[in-house]
A and B are shown apart, each in its own frame.
Chain A
Amino acid sequence: MPKVKIKRKSTAIDMTAMCDVAFLLLTFFMLTSNFTQKEPVAVNTPSSISEIKIPDRNIISILVDAKGKVFFGADGQENRVKLLTKMGAAYNITFTPEELKEFSLVNKFGVPITGMKNYLSLGTKERDMSQFSIGIPCDSLDNQFKNWVSVARSINSEYRIAIKADQATTYPVIKKLMGSLQDIKENKYNLLTSLKLSADYE
């Protein structure tokens, strides 16, 4: 008799508790998450001991990859529209409303302003291909980078500048960027780094 009783025991487990846990975690992640924004190039930032966090909003992010290509991005969709309109006016390019709308969805771009129309007509996947993303010109002959930053700052003076560059980016590229920023009197900016793992400094 005892044997039979044991056999009758159901193998089904009560999943309710597990379900509770799963959804609790889900809620947590949903509330705390801010989505990783896709970046046109993979950038490996150097590490530092600095513990200051970057604010979420009003950021002009400048991305520099290992080869020295410069990418630019400003947040806020309305600001982006204003930005492109103004930049277009400065370079005598008129953008259609569709193009402006498309641009407001672009997180970061790395094309000269002359190639912007063509760039916006491309699909999202093609945009990141290296032949289309050639970086924003920032040498002394044609310093579009400087104009992008100064126009963005004139639209929203609360913008802060954050430079995210790769470890392997050469110093002259960084110096050129810093020089450009100095030219337009942007003397305070942030350099993005990742946290140093070994805290062996004290």
Chain B
Amino acid sequence: MSEVAQDNNQGKKKGKTKKMSTRVDFTPMVDLGFLLITFFMLATTLSKPQTMEIAMPSKDKISDEDQTKIKASRAVTILLGKDNKVFYYEGTRENNVDPVLVQSDFSPKGIRQFLIKKNYDIMVKVRELKAKKVSQKLSDKDFEKQRDEIIADKKAPIILIKGTIESSYKNLIDALDEMAICNIGRYAIVDITPFDLDLMSKKL
């Protein structure tokens, strides 16, 4: 830099080989820079896709003794219908009385309200835990551990998600989402039974 300045001075003194400006026009370089930026911006995926981790039961034959029968009072069955409709009922058929099938949807005021009501105690506990975490009294690890303990509560509802052939993948994801939102620890994706289909056809 200092040399350049000297050159300039000398040039001025001589008055002949002067005015050779050392300034370079940066405009094309800027153009190039922005062109490359544009390319990289378009070619990249800045945000990694979100993922839902799911664990399915294994298909091994389980003998009847090993199978835990869930209490009817804890069971809630969610049926995914066509056109994003969703139905749910509690318990199962008892004393020849069909459970009441309720039609709902995946909006915040739909099935979520029911699940929140059903799982209220646990949601309150988890919320308290979250507040603790936010105020930094809990580490992430402890938070997860304690949350897992809470949602594994014996009285918590057990949700069975059953899809009809007319439902879509989106419905399934929505249903799994509701499980996450309502802090439901126990849920399973199971095959639909003729009984469920029958209930649905009666409702429709």
Contact = CB atoms under 8 A, between A and B. Distances in A.
Q: Do A and B come together as binding partners?
A: yes
Given A169-B168, A187-B56, A188-B53, A19 B30 contact: yes
Interface in B30-85: 30, 33-34, 36-37, 40-41, 43-59, 80
A171 B171 contact: yes
A192 B58 CA distance: 21
Contact of A16 (B26, B168, B170): B26
A165 B51 CA distance: 12
B176 interface: yes
A33 B43 contact: yes
Contacts of B171: 171
A69 B27 CA distance: 50
B33 A32 contact: no
B34 A45 contact: no
Interface residues of A, number: 61
Given A49-B181, A53-B50, A165 B169 contact: yes
B173 interface: yes
Interface stretch (B86-94, B133-141, B159-167, B196-204): B159-167
How would you classify the secondary structure of chain A's contact residues: helix, strand, loop or mixed? mixed
Contacts of A47: 173
A89 interface: no
B165 A50 contact: no
Interface in B145-161: none
Contacts of B41: 29
Nearest to B46: A32
A168 B167 CA distance: 9
A50 B50 contact: yes
Interface stretch (A105-113, A127-135, A174-182): A174-182
B40 A29 contact: yes
B50 A19 contact: no
Contacts of B51: 50, 52-54, 162, 190-193
Given A50-B52, A54-B48, A175-B163, A183 B170 contact: no
B128 interface: no
A6 interface: no
Interface stretch (A20-28, A94-102, A141-149, A150-158): A20-28
15 contacts: A14-B26, A19-B26, A19-B33, A48-B50, A48-B174, A50-B177, A53-B51, A54-B49, A170-B165, A171-B172, A187-B57, A188-B54, A193-B51, A196-B177, A202-B181
Interface of A: 12, 14-16, 18-19, 22-23, 25-26, 29-30, 32-36, 45-54, 56, 64, 162, 164-175, 178-179, 181-183, 185, 187-196, 200-202
Given A35-B44, A50-B177, A169-B168, 15 more contacts: A33-B46, A34-B45, A36-B44, A167-B168, A171-B172, A174-B172, A178-B56, A178-B189, A190-B54, A191-B54, A193-B49, A193-B52, A194-B50, A195-B47, A196-B177
